[in-house]
Amino acid sequence: MTAKGFWEYLCEKLNYRFFAGVPCKELKPLYDSMSTKFMHYIPAVKENVALGLVSGSFLAGHKAAVLMNFDRLYNTLDWIKSFNIRYHIPVLIIAYDSENDEKIRKALAAYKIPSRIAKNMITDLKYITNKIEKEEIPGVLILRKGVLDE
């Protein structure tokens, strides 16, 4: 799937409209294909700031997602547990994993945060968004090199 197709599906079919994140060079194809026609993006200086922005957007009635590097996710887990999980705020976390970091995946499992490694983008997006919306918890879509065409 192309990065543009990713946004069109996530925004148009799944109705996600608000995004925030700390710029990550591996996610450049996604940043380059963003369109203000169907989405709003705010860059953040820290991952917990981005989570706060999208959590607030959810509370205002919008489906929202964070973009970040997977290795930075570890720094946000306590915040996710104490706020998003506690108050049932489902946000999608789109994270690029260049190192196949098992430590973070184990921590996600310990916190009972669902994650899915993207292989078939539409199937995996449907799975993770349905899970987080049904269970009212955050979830992580893990992207790796080659999953998105430029």
What pLDDT score does 140 carry?
Answer: 96
Instruction: Give the three-state DSSP class for 67.
Output: strand
Hey, what domains does the chain have and what are their CATH numbers? 3-143 (3.40.50.970)
- Cα–Cα distance measured from residue 113 to residue 24, given in angstroms and rounded to the nearest whole number: 22
Tokens 């959590």 correspond to what residue? 55
For residue range 14-73, list pLDDT tens digits in order.
Answer: 999 999 999 989 999 999 999 999 899 999 999 999 999 999 999 999 999 999 999 899
Whether residue 150 has pLDDT greater than 70: no
Indicate if the alpha-carbon torsion angle 5, 8, 11, 17 is positive or negative.
positive
Q: On the CB side of 136, how many CA atoms lie within 13 Å of its CA?
A: 7
pLDDT at 47: 95
pTM for the predicted model, two decimal places:
0.94
